[in-house]
Amino acid sequence: MELPEFKELLLKIAVCAIACDGDIDDREIKALHEIEKKSSYFSALDLSETLNESLKECSSDLIIFKNKVFETLEANTLNIVQELTALEISLRIIAADEIEEESERDFINDLRSHLKLEDFLIAQRFGDIPYLKPQKSEFKSNQSDDLGSIIQISK
């Protein structure tokens, strides 16, 4: 995904993270405007109009807005850095008020389910996030290996 489109998507993910608890507080809006203006995540682009439109759309119907964001994630290929950034900004936003509500944890898990990041990379970058559900991978099994059940291959 190209950088301008990614930054716009990242901003919409941030709006979802703010709104996922059902309350978009004026302080959160002000903080997001500050992030949009001063953060390296969004620098070099003026996303004020996108931010205002996203806040309005999200306030109107959070579920539809969130589903559109997740559809955009699914329709595009993000690199590892972009996926880590999307997760990081969401984690920072929900942790900003030092209270992580269940709806915020659910949002992080919803976001996680739309990313292709391996659990190992997330753990290396962010440490243990107790509520984060592991990604199902075709290369891993949740069942323990039982050496007694190995089938002998005859020659």
Q: How many C-beta neighbours within 10 Å does residue 8 have? A: 18
- pLDDT < 70 positions in the chain: 36, 43-45, 136-155
**For the whole prediction, is pTM greater than 0.85?**
no
The residues spanned by each domain of the chain are 3-135
pLDDT the model gives residue 77: 92
pLDDT the model gives residue 84: 94
One-letter identity of residue 79: N
- CA 82/CA 153 separation, integer angstroms: 44
Q: What is the mean pLDDT of the chain?
A: 81
The total number of residues written for the chain in this structure: 155
- The token pair at 40 is 């390296």
